[in-house]
């Protein structure tokens, strides 16, 4: 089935679908044809949001939340179809797609409940007969720009806190994955979200995305994507003194100490590095081993890599789907060549199967200054490095410009705590894969991975989409 995907502006589907998206696992199979917004159409979406926002903000927060809860129920009822469409357009396995759709459902439910918990503070005043309280006010019109690797979960975790806080949203999803956001926006529309409160524009980020970023009517921009684009957005939004939230790249380390079980450590590394085809900002891309476990770990990781053979995500038994695009595949393969040129040994993943398929890769003899150890690849590629001890491993882990996620495999509780205290990362995992998050927990990075201001997910997510008003009420 080929779905025609149009923009959502002011509650209406508009635009002529022209951009073709094919199934990355089945070349020639068209999944969707989507519209592409120009600057003027992006401006119309902002105008629709600006017109709808005051009435939406005046709607009681519990009523706003109830619409998110109803949308969650609608999305859950059609979860199988949504997951199938997600797999067909992005490539991940059906099991991974089902998990992502369920995550989007749970996000909507969580923030639906936040409508009942929206609050400020009551504070003492130094003045007599004066009552002081704070309240959270919506920013107004918010633009969210989302990537292709989690095409329904990331849009959900950005727009849900924005909507329940009383903002109107213009969402610009990635060009590669238009259908997933179509399902999300349809669920919200059918749940009773007023026209114009959520608008969706598809198309080229350099056109539609740039128009949203530069529009003075947009009070806040939340972006997840590459460092290069994030830096451009930061400069543009900051120049007009609007609010900006960026979640960007990662070069996430997993430290494996001598006391760990090699097979268990390899399973954790493979789940974090090869699951989702390595196309996650929190994916494990470096493993740093201490001397006593290095060789046994590499042997165990090679056995795991052999299990993660790329295949069609719709086929039963597939553990790893194809790469999402030819451009990403070229990046994966170029980094393997670079690694070999710099002295690394590609022990697995060097073969180049047909189609958009990258085999799970293991690269050893990697030094901390090698490009494959310092630059984001965003594919199923794990570089294995050595360190003398825990302190040396932490030093290697921190010697990159990113700081999103980090993990350690050990049975030593003191080592685990020391690692958590000293590693430079916004998310720390002990004996768990670096990928995978709880929706009620704050998420974000440090250094080049994030603006490191407002966190996403959990109750704190609404802070980016609101500002604090302090009220002094004289009662004499």
436: in domain = no
Q: Are residues 244 and 259 both part of a single domain?
A: no
Give pLDDT, residue 50.
99
Q: Are residues 469 and 409 both part of a single domain?
A: no
444: in domain = no
Q: Are residues 32 and 143 both part of a single domain?
A: yes
273: in domain = yes
Whole-angstrom distance, CA of residue 192 vs CA of residue 276: 33
Q: Which two tokens stand for residue 394?
A: 């932490």
The dihedral over CA atoms of 329, 332, 338, 339, expressed in degrees to the nearest 10, equals: -150
| Residues paired with 354 in a beta bridge | none
235: in domain = yes
pLDDT band (50, 70, 90) for residue 174: very high
> 375-430: per-residue pLDDT in tens?
999 999 999 999 999 999 999 999 999 999 999 999 999 999 999 999 999 999 99
> 197-211: per-residue pLDDT in tens?
999 999 999 999 999
Give the largest Cα separation in the chain, rounded.
Answer: 80
Give pLDDT, residue 110.
98
Q: Which two tokens stand for residue 96?
A: 């991974």
Q: Are residues 381 and 240 both part of a single domain?
A: no
Give pLDDT, residue 1.
85
pLDDT band (50, 70, 90) for residue 351: confident
Q: Are residues 266 and 244 both part of a single domain?
A: no
Whole-angstrom distance, CA of residue 311 vs CA of residue 358: 10
Does residue 349 have a pLDDT over 90? Answer: yes
Consecutive H or E run containing 108:
helix 94-114
> 206-234: per-residue pLDDT in tens?
999 999 999 999 999 999 999 999 999 99
116: in domain = yes
Angle at 105 between CA 104 and CA 106, to 5 degrees: 90
- Residues 246-272 have a mean pLDDT of 98
CATH number at residue 314: 3.40.309.10
Tell me which of 90, 114, 247, 375 is the catalytic residue.
247
Q: Are residues 48 and 192 both part of a single domain?
A: yes
CATH number at residue 147: 3.40.605.10
379: in domain = yes
Q: Are residues 239 and 267 both part of a single domain?
A: no
Whole-angstrom distance, CA of residue 376 vs CA of residue 405: 13
Q: Are residues 241 and 299 both part of a single domain?
A: no
80: in domain = yes
Is 247 annotated in the active site? yes
Q: Are residues 191 and 208 both part of a single domain?
A: yes
Q: Are residues 182 and 256 both part of a single domain?
A: no
Give pLDDT, residue 353.
84
Count up the domains in the chain and report the number: 2
Closest CA to 419 of 431, 408, 427: 408
CB atoms within 10 A of CB 182: 24
Q: Are residues 244 and 298 both part of a single domain?
A: no
Chain mean pLDDT for the chain: 97
Strand order in the sheet with 198-200: 12-14, 7-9, 198-200, 168-172, 141-145, 220-224, 243-247
Q: Are residues 63 and 127 both part of a single domain?
A: yes
pTM score: 0.96
Range of the domain at 324: 252-430
152: in domain = yes
Give pLDDT, residue 354.
86
Pair type for strands 141-145 and 405-409: unpaired
């Amino acid at each position: 089935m080929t779905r025609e995907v149009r923009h959502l502006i002011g509650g209406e589907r508009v635009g002529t679908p022209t951009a073709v998206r094919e199934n990355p696992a089945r070349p020639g199979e068209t999944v969707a044809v989507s519209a592409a917004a120009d600057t003027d159409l992006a401006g119309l979406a902002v105008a629709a949001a600006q017109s709808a926002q005051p009435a939406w903000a005046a709607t009681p927060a519990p009523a706003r939340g109830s619409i998110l809860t109803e949308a969650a129920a609608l999305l859950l009822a059609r979860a199988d179809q949504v997951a199938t469409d997600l797999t067909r357009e992005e490539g991940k396995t059906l099991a991974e797609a089902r998990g992502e759709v369920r995550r989007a459902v749970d996000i909507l439910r969580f923030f639906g409940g936040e409508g009942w918990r929206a609050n400020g503070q009551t504070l003492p005043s130094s003045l007599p007969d004066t009552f002081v309280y704070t309240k959270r006010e919506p920013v107004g019109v918010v633009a969210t720009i989302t990537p292709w690797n989690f095409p329904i979960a990331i849009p959900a975790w950005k727009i849900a806190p924005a909507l329940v806080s009383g903002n109107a949203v213009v969402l610009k999803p990635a060009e590669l994955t238009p259908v997933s956001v179509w399902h999300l926006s349809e669920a919200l529309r059918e749940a009773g979200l007023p026209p114009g409160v959520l608008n969706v524009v598809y198309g080229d980020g350099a056109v539609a995305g740039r128009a949203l970023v530069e529009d003075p009517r947009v009070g806040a921009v939340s972006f997840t994507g590459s460092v290069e684009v994030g830096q451009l957005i930061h400069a543009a939004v900051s120049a007009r003194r609007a609010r900006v939230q960026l979640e960007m790249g990662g070069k996430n380390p997993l430290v494996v100490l001598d006391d760990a079980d090699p097979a268990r450590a390899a399973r954790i590394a493979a789940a974090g590095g090869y699951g989702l085809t390595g196309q996650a900002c929190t994916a494990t891309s470096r493993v740093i081993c201490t001397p006593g476990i290095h060789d046994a770990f590499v042997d165990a990781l090679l056995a795991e890599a052999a299990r993660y053979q790329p295949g069609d995500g719709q086929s039963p038994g597939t553990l790893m789907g194809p790469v999402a695009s030819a451009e990403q595949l070229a990046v994966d393969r170029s980094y393997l060549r670079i690694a070999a040129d710099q002295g690394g040994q590609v022990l697995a993943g060097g073969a180049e199967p047909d189609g958009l398929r990258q085999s799970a890769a293991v690269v050893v003899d990697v030094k901390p200054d090698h490009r494959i150890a310092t630059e984001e690849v965003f594919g199923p590629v794990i570089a294995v490095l050595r360190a003398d001890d825990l302190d040396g491993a932490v030093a290697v882990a921190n010697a990159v410009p990113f700081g999103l996620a980090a993990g350690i495999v050990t049975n030593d509780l003191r080592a685990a705590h020391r690692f958590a205290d000293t590693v430079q990362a916004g998310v720390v995992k002990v004996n768990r894969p670096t990928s995978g998050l709880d929706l009620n927990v704050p998420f974000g990075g440090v250094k080049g991975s994030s603006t490191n201001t407002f966190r996403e997910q959990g109750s704190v997510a609404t802070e980016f989409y609101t500002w604090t008003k302090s009220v002094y009420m004289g009662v004499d």
